[in-house]
């Protein structure tokens, strides 16, 4: 289906990533946004407050993030596409209802502009340390999809993609951006509405008495419904059967709980998007996502100048993780270098897939800034020279860390 | 360029130096902001109320006013957004001898912290809550707060605020606060007196300090700077002690009613708890004795 | 709970609203059969979030009538309640109060000491009508679960109000104690016998105290622009034709203040 021209603000803009994501949401047909101001994500909400009323989208600034996410789940069940926007502590508050949304198989988009943590941390500076939280944040078993854009243009494009994935797989979608991308101002081109593909909601259209809100279609995703259509919905956050009625037994828990996980795992190939370059005969592969992949470009260039064969693999969708692809690359390459703005999160999944066949080097960063490309280049060089297979993770000592505490804390005997 | 004014050989000493962290000065507040005045009033009140600063804990949340705890030389806690009252509840219940002060802004206390506010008032936890109300979220750049008057502009209400604001004194009273007053930061002496009274009170006391925000609220709404806001307070504040709290709504640039509205007595949480504990202890001994006799 | 569901059923019938237009987000689990009888859309929400969820439902589709059932004594959901009242979201909040009152009307309530809590409690619950009223709710009422007729009539009346309405229902005797014969009905009867109807009483005076009988009745009934009304008025004024009003046409013409 083509996008509704009303929400598409066609034109060439010079805007930051937050605003681009807000415009992306409107283009994707988002009609309800609930938010709460939190640096550095506020600009996205402000963009929607400004443009939303002109294109038929309603906004409300809720009393807190718990309210924002509850409200968007409610609005989704009344039949519209929804999004909420947050960062840092707000993301932690939302975890309760992310699990609730996953349990109810509610399509919505959550834009998280990551900042330095934990707690209040460094509100105005960047970080990538919520990656594991986006995967495992709420309690219980569930799978969802996380996307990491690297530029304002991508913030626009991938927000639309996020809405489409949400409708397709009936699950919450995380846009795991970060302060750098959120506040980066660049050219953003918004095309005409007929060039934007949007996924319509898969609404049930049959007779009311036959509707089962959680009966899977062949792709394991059930058809959605909305309140007010006389379907007598019974929707609960308890483990439920196909009718939506609560069930307690282990047998049922497995039967109905399993699908929440499998509908993403089994559709993985259709969901995962990677950007791969020069990995075919590379010695070292740089695996990165979000702003780190942009910083890594320079590092890779520097390493290539030294004659090292480097490939890059960019995780556009970080979750679900591309296990098969990573295993395949581990057979060919000597090492993976993973720069991320945390002390090791996605790198553990890389190491799991490498399974000792290739070395895995983490280039850490504590947040409040991005990597020095020279560090990435040096890490690549170090990995290329290493001929031994080293068990476990290799942590590269960056210039910043050496200067701050001489390459790491040590316990005193 | 402005010349730095020449100081005398003897360095001038801030009159409240013993209660402020002078090593953290200059503070982050913008010129013509009213938070500094509220802090001065508070420190003056601490001295006036004759309270040993070593027994006082000050808890702030997030936001411009959230920085207060960091500039006051007491046991200071800069907590997460909206949680200072919950944090302070922990301090007060675990350590009843501590005098607990929550110093935070309207967005922090009334929006995300609204639930802790009403529940602490209901329980009547013995603490002083100073709510600096500047009608906006200033730290994040001027978003709508639950105190933003109807039709006022903010970045998340670019076409005018559509939500009526809280009447903080009314909410505080209806949830059970024992002392409720409202002043602007222009009324520095009256504010100090109110804070002194509230510090000496046992129970949940709320003092709302309306403060100009020259950087966001008055700029977005074209109300001049902080000084113009002070002039506005001067001309438009009416003092009505004991006014029924339901008449204290604030509209956009309308009259503001200030004064002390509530001053009553209710057993505080700790008093209730202690009474309960003594009952339980008696009951416990009683039932134990019964069991023993049965054996 | 059953008496509340019965009252809901009767109230919806009396209000003359099509059942398919009604959504009930609740943090109290309803029996699937009960929901079937009610014929509404039902959502069981994480504890305390019924009002926030309802806000989304209402704004997503303004034609819905949303009845959040808040059963947690506003412990987790208090903030959503006060802010919902302030905004005047069009919701009918059924606040199920199962607080264990030790004494009512100067008499000790049956079983409370022995069954519910051996040491009683030292906390005081909110005066919910006063709290709602102070934040701006347009309709507040309180009934015990045995005031079946009155409760249903209140629900019907509140369903046709524009804005946040709040009905507190005193319903002691949680499920766990149902196995102990008669507790629920006896407690309910005790509450019922010790209540006195005081319609239009100032909500300030209706706190439940140990020495007085419980004041029940309708305490607030006023008019105020709802959130959607204000949203439409303000945006139509500022944006003119670029803005399409959301939901049903607004009633108020002008907001207060300089910009309004």
Residues B93, B154 within the same domain: yes
Band of residue B59 on the pLDDT scale cut at 50, 70, 90? very high
A183 touches A155 (CB < 8 A): no
* Contact: A228, C21; criterion CB under 8 Å: yes
* Contact: C57, A235; criterion CB under 8 Å: no
| H or E element that contains A173 | strand A172-178
Band of residue C115 on the pLDDT scale cut at 50, 70, 90? low
Give C118's contacts in chain B (Cβ within 8 Å): 283
Choose between C104 and A332: higher pLDDT. A332
Give C122's contacts in chain B (Cβ within 8 Å): 272-273, 275-276
Q: What is the ipTM of this complex?
A: 0.90
* Contact: B156, A65; criterion CB under 8 Å: no
- Report d(CA A236, CA C76) in Å as an integer: 18
Sign of the torsion formed by the C-alpha atoms of A29, A31, A37 and A38: negative
- What is the mean predicted confidence (pLDDT) over B178-185? 97
Residues B275, B164 within the same domain: no
- What does the domain layout of chain A look like in residue ranges? 5-195, 274-405
* pLDDT recorded at residue C258: 44
* pLDDT recorded at residue C111: 57
Query: Which chains share 3+ C-beta pairs under 8 angstroms with A?
Result: B, C
Residue B289 lies in a domain: yes
Give B273's contacts in chain C (Cβ within 8 Å): 122
Flag whether residue C33 sits within 8 Å of chain A, measured between CB atoms.
no
Query: Which chains share 3+ C-beta pairs under 8 angstroms with B?
Result: A, C
Q: Shortest CA distance to C142 belongs to which of C180, C176, C110, C94?
A: C94
- CA–chain centroid gap for B19, Å, is 18
Residue C125 predicted with pLDDT over 90: no
For chain B, where are the E strands, in sequence order?
56-60, 75-78, 99-105, 127-133, 136-137, 143-144, 179-184, 204-210, 237-239, 256-263
B145 touches B131 (CB < 8 A): no
Residues B234, B280 within the same domain: no
* Contact: B81, A53; criterion CB under 8 Å: no
HSE value, Cβ hemisphere, 13 Å, CA-based, for C165: 24
Pairs across B and C, CB distance < 8 A:
122
Residue B292 predicted with pLDDT over 60: no
CB-nearest to A63 from B78, B114, B140 is B114
Residues B169, B208 within the same domain: yes
Residues B120, B33 within the same domain: yes
Average pLDDT, chain B: 91
* pLDDT recorded at residue C181: 54
Its domain, for residue B128, covers 17-264
CB-nearest to A89 from B80, B137, B159 is B80
pTM for this prediction: 0.92
Choose between C184 and C253: higher pLDDT. C184
* Contact: B157, A49; criterion CB under 8 Å: yes
* Contact: A120, B158; criterion CB under 8 Å: no
Residues B103, B37 within the same domain: yes
Band of residue A413 on the pLDDT scale cut at 50, 70, 90? confident
Residues B85, B207 within the same domain: yes
What is the tens place of the pLDDT at every residue in A198-249?
999 999 999 998 999 999 999 999 999 999 999 999 999 999 999 999 998 8
Residues B277, B258 within the same domain: no
Flag whether residue B275 sits within 8 Å of chain C, measured between CB atoms.
yes
| H or E element that contains A189 | strand A185-190
Pairs across A and C, CB distance < 8 A:
139
Residues B211, B276 within the same domain: no
CB-nearest to C134 from B123, B170, B283 is B170
Q: Which stretches within A190-342 are classed as H helix?
A: 250-265, 268-271, 291-305, 323-332
Give A232's contacts in chain C (Cβ within 8 Å): 35-36, 39-42
What is the tens place of the pLDDT at every residue in A103-158?
999 999 999 999 998 999 999 999 999 999 999 999 999 999 999 999 999 999 99
Q: What is the DSSP string of A328-381?
A: HHHHH-SEEEEE-SSSSSHHHHHHHHHTTSSEEEEE---SSS---HHHHHHHHH
What is the tens place of the pLDDT at every residue in A267-325?
999 999 999 999 999 999 999 999 999 999 999 999 999 999 999 999 999 999 999 99
Flag whether residue B244 sits within 8 Å of chain C, measured between CB atoms.
no
Residue B12 lies in a domain: no
Choose between C251 and C145: higher pLDDT. C145
DSSP state of A183: T
Q: Shortest CA distance to C233 belongs to which of C205, C209, C207, C253?
A: C253
Residues B295, B190 within the same domain: no
Residue C114 predicted with pLDDT over 80: no
* pLDDT recorded at residue B284: 62
Flag whether residue C205 sits within 8 Å of chain B, measured between CB atoms.
no
- In angstroms, the separation between the Cα of residue A229 and the nearest Cα of chain C is 6
A368 Rama class: left (phi>0) / alpha (psi -120 to 50) / beta: left
Band of residue A404 on the pLDDT scale cut at 50, 70, 90? confident
Domain count, chain B: 2
- pLDDT over 70 percentage in chain A: 100
Residue B196 lies in a domain: yes
Q: Do domains A5-195 and A274-405 have the same CATH topology?
A: yes
| CATH topology for the A274-405 domain | Rossmann fold (3.40.50)
- Count of CB atoms within 10 A of residue B292's CB? 8
Residues B225, B105 within the same domain: yes
- What is the mean predicted confidence (pLDDT) over B91-103? 95
Do you find a cis peptide bond into A118, omega within 30 degrees of 0?
yes
B33 touches B212 (CB < 8 A): yes
3-class SS at B213? coil
- Report d(CA A285, CA A334) in Å as an integer: 8
Residue B8 lies in a domain: no
- In angstroms, the separation between the Cα of residue C223 and the nearest Cα of chain A is 22
CB-nearest to C83 from B146, B152, B280 is B146
* Contact: C234, B151; criterion CB under 8 Å: yes
Residue with token string 């949007």:
A198
What is the tens place of the pLDDT at every residue in B214-243?
999 999 999 999 999 999 999 999 999 999
Residue C223 predicted with pLDDT over 90: yes
Average pLDDT, chain C: 85
| CATH topology for the A5-195 domain | Rossmann fold (3.40.50)
* pLDDT recorded at residue B280: 79
Helices and strands, counts by H and E, chain A: 14, 17
CB-nearest to A61 from B139, B141, B144 is B144
Kindly list the structural domains of chain C, giving each domain's residue range(s) and its CATH number in brackets, ordered by start. 2-221 (3.40.50.970), 225-260 (no CATH)
CATH code for the domain of B42: 3.40.50.970
* Contact: C83, B112; criterion CB under 8 Å: no
Residues B256, B283 within the same domain: no
């Amino acid at each position: 289906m083509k996008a509704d021209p009303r929400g598409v603000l066609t034109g060439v803009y010079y805007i930051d990533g937050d605003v681009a994501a807000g415009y992306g949401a409107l283009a994707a047909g988002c009609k309800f946004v609930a938010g709460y101001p939190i640096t550095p994500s506020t600009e996205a909400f402000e963009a929607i407050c400004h443009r939303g009323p002109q294109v038929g989208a309603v906004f409300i600034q809720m009393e807190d993030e718990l309210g924002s996410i509850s409200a968007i789940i409610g609005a989704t069940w009344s039949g519209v596409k929804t999004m909420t926007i947050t960062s840092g502590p707000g993301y932690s508050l939302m975890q309760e209802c992310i699990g609730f949304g996953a349990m109810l198989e509610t399509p919505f988009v959550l834009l998280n502009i990551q900042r330095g943590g934990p707690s209040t941390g460094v509100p105005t500076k960047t970080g990538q340390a919520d990656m594991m939280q986006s995967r495992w944040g709420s309690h219980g078993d569930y799978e969802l999809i996380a996307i990491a854009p690297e530029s304002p243009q991508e913030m626009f494009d991938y927000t639309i993609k996020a809405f489409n994935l949400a409708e397709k797989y009936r699950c919450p979608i995380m846009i795991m951006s970060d302060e750098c991308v959120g506040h980066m101002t660049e050219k953003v081109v918004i095309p005409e509405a007929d060039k934007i593909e949007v996924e319509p909601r898969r609404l049930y259209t049959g007779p009311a008495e036959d509707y089962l809100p959680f009966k899977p279609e062949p792709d394991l995703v059930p058809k959605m419904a909305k309140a007010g259509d006389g379907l007598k919905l019974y929707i609960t956050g308890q483990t439920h059967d196909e009718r939506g009625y609560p069930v307690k037994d282990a047998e049922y828990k497995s039967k109905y709980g399993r699908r929440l996980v499998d509908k993403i795992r089994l559709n993985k190939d259709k969901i995962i998007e990677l950007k791969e370059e020069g990995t075919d005969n590379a010695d070292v592969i740089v695996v990165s996502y979000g702003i780190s992949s942009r910083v890594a470009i320079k590092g890779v260039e520097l390493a290539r100048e030294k004659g090292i064969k480097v490939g890059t693999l960019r995780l556009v969708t970080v979750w679900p993780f591309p296990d098969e692809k990573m295993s395949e690359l581990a057979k060919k390459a000597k090492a993976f270098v993973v720069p991320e703005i945390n002390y090791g999160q996605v790198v553990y999944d890389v190491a799991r897939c490498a399974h000792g066949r290739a070395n895995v080097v983490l280039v850490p960063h504590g947040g409040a800034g991005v990597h020095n490309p020279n560090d990435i280049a040096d890490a690549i060089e170090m990995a290329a020279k290493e001929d031994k297979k080293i068990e476990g993770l290799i942590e590269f000592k960056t210039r910043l860390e050496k200067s701050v505490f001489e390459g790491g804390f040590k316990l005193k005997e | 360029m402005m010349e730095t004014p020449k100081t005398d050989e003897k360095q001038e000493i801030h009159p409240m130096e013993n209660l402020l962290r002078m090593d953290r000065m200059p503070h982050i507040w913008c010129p013509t902001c009213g938070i500094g005045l509220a802090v001065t009033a508070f420190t003056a009140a601490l001295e006036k109320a004759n309270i040993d600063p070593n027994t006082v804990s000050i808890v702030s949340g997030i936001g411009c006013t959230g920085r207060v705890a960091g500039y006051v030389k007491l046991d200071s806690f800069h907590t997460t957004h909206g949680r200072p009252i919950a944090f302070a509840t922990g301090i007060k219940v675990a350590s009843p001898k501590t005098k607990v002060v929550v110093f935070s802004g309207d967005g922090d206390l009334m929006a995300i912290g609204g639930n802790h506010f009403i529940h602490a008032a209901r329980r009547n936890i013995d603490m002083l809550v100073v709510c600096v109300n500047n009608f906006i979220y200033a730290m994040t750049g001027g978003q709508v707060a639950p105190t933003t008057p109807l039709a006022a502009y903010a970045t998340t209400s670019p076409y005018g605020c559509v939500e009526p604001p809280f009447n903080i004194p009314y909410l505080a009273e209806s949830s059970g606060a024992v002392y409720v007053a409202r002043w602007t930061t222009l009324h520095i002496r009256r504010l100090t007196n109110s804070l002194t009274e509230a510090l000496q009170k046992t129970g949940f006391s709320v003092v709302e300090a309306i403060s100009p925000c020259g950087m966001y609220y008055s700029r977005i709404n074209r109300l001049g700077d902080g000084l113009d806001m002070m002039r506005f307070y001067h001309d438009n504040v009416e003092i009505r002690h004991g006014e029924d709290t339901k008449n204290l709504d604030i509209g956009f640039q309308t009259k503001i009613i200030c004064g002390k509205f509530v001053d009553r007595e209710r057993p505080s949480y700790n008093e209730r708890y202690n009474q309960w504990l003594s009952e339980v202890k008696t009951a416990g001994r009683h039932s134990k004795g019964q069991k023993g006799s049965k054996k | 709970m059953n008496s509340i569901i019965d009252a809901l059923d009767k109230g919806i019938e009396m209000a003359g609203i099509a059942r398919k237009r009604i959504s009930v987000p609740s943090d109290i689990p309803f029996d699937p059969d009960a929901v079937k009888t009610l014929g509404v859309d039902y959502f069981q929400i994480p504890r305390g979030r019924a009002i926030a969820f309802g806000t989304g439902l209402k704004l997503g589709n303004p034609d819905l009538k949303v009845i959040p059932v808040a059963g947690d004594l506003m412990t987790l959901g208090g903030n959503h309640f006060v802010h919902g009242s302030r905004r005047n979201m069009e919701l009918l909040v059924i606040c199920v109060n199962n607080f264990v009152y030790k004494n009512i009307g100067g008499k000790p309530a049956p079983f409370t000491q022995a069954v519910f809590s051996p040491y009683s409690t030292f906390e005081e619950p909110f005066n919910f009508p006063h709290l709602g009223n102070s934040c701006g709710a347009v309709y507040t009422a309180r009934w015990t679960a045995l005031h079946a007729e009155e409760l249903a009539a209140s629900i019907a009346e509140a369903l046709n109000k524009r804005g946040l309405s709040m009905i507190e229902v005193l319903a002691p005797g949680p499920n766990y104690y149902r196995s102990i014969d008669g507790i629920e009905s006896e407690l309910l009867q005790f509450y019922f016998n010790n209540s006195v109807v005081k319609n239009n009483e100032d909500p300030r005076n209706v706190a439940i105290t140990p020495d007085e009988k419980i004041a029940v009745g309708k305490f607030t009934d006023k008019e105020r622009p709802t959130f959607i009304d204000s949203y439409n008025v303000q945006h139509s004024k500022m944006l003119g034709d670029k803005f399409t009003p959301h939901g049903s046409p607004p009633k108020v013409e002008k907001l207060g203040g300089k910009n309004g």
